[in-house]
Amino acid sequence: MRKIFGRVYVVIIMLFLYLPILALIVLSFNEAKSMSVWKGFSLRWYEELFHSKLMVQAIANTFSIAILAALIATIIGTLAVLGLAAMKPRTETVLMGFNNIPMLNADIVTGIALMLFFLMFHWPRGYLTVLFSHTVFCIPYVILSVKPRLNKNTDKLFEAALDLGASERYAFRKIVLPELRPGIMSGFLLSFTMSVDDFIITYFTRGAGINTISTLIYSQVKVGIRPSLFALSTIVFVTALVVLVAVNLRQKRIDAKQAY
C-alpha cells in the first residue's frame, strides 16, 4: 500500500511540474492566437519567431552572455579554489563565508548594487555590464561546485608526481585537473543555467536596446502575450532537455569505463 501511494504521489508531482510545460508546447503549434481555441497544427509561430529581429537578437544576447559568463566564471572560480587550498584553514573558512553571501543575498539587492556601481563609475549600461554582472554572481556557484573535488589525496598525488620528476604543469594537467573536471563541468553548466534564467539582475544592469529572453518576455507581457513566445519557450526547454540527456549519457559512459 505504501509503495502504491508513493508511486501515485510521484506521478502527481511530475504532472504538476510538467503539465504546464506540455500545454505550452501544444499551444506553440496552434494555428490560432487564442489559448482556448484549437484551429489546427501549424508552424506559424515558429516562423514568426525566427523572422522577428527583436527575438532573434534577444536569443543571441541570452546565450552568448550565458556562455561567456559561465566560461569566465569557471576559470576564475577554479583558480580561486586552488588559491583557497593554499591558505590557512581559518582564512579559508572566512573567505568561504564571504563567498556564500551573494548566493544568500536577494537578487534585487545584487541587481541594484551593481547598477549603482556602474552609475558611480559612469560605465554605460549595455551588453558588457550584463556580462560582467552575470560573471560576478556565477563565480560563487563555481567555487562551491569545484571545491569539494579538491581534497588531501589530490595534494598527495600532486606532490608524489613532483617527487618522481614530473614538472608542476604536467602534474597539474594529469592529476589535479582530472580530479577537478567533474566539478568544473558542474560549475560551468550551473553558471550557464543561472545566467539564462536570470531576470532581476539583467533588468537592472542592461541598457536601452539590450534584451535577453527574460526581459523581452517581461516587456511583451505588458502588451499581450504572442504565441511566438510559446515557440521560444518550447525551443529553450527542448534544448535544455537534450543537453541534460547528453551530459548524463556521457557521464554514464565515463563511469562504466572507470568501473572496468
Per residue in 91-146, pLDDT (tens digit) is 888 888 888 888 888 888 888 999 999 989 888 888 899 999 999 989 999 998 88
Distance CA 217, CA 177 (A): 40
**pLDDT tens digit string along 206-246?**
877 788 888 888 887 777 777 788 888 888 888 878 877 88
Closest CA to 140 of 182, 88, 195, 80: 80
Please, which residues bridge with residue 30 across strands?
41
DSSP state, residue 222: T
Q: Where are the domains of the chain?
A: 53-228
Cβ within 8 Å of residue 248, ≥6 positions away: none
Q: Which helix (H) or strand (E) holds 20?
A: helix 2-27
Distance CA 177, CA 77 (A): 14
Q: Give residue 16's pLDDT.
A: 86
Per-residue confidence band for 7, with pLDDT thresholds at 50, 70 and 90: confident
Backbone dihedral angles phi then psi of residue 183, each to the nearest 5 degrees: -65, -40
Cα separation of 104 and 151, whole Å? 26
- Dist. CA 124–CA 94, nearest whole Å: 34
Q: Please tell me the CATH code under which domain 53-228 is placed.
A: 1.10.3720.10
| SS3 at position 30 | strand
Q: What's the rounded mean pLDDT across residues 8-36?
A: 83
The terminus-to-terminus CA distance of the chain in angstroms comes to 40
DSSP letter, residue 123: -
**Chain length of the chain:** 260
Task: Report the alpha-carbon distance of residue 92 to residue 88 in Å, rounded.
Answer: 6
In this structure, what C-alpha cell is assigned to residue 63? Answer: 546565450
For residues 99 and 143, the answer to whether their CB atoms sit within 8 Å is: yes
Tell me the angle at which helices 53-85 and 213-221 cross, rounded to the nearest 10 degrees: 140
Tell me, what's the pLDDT at 155? 64
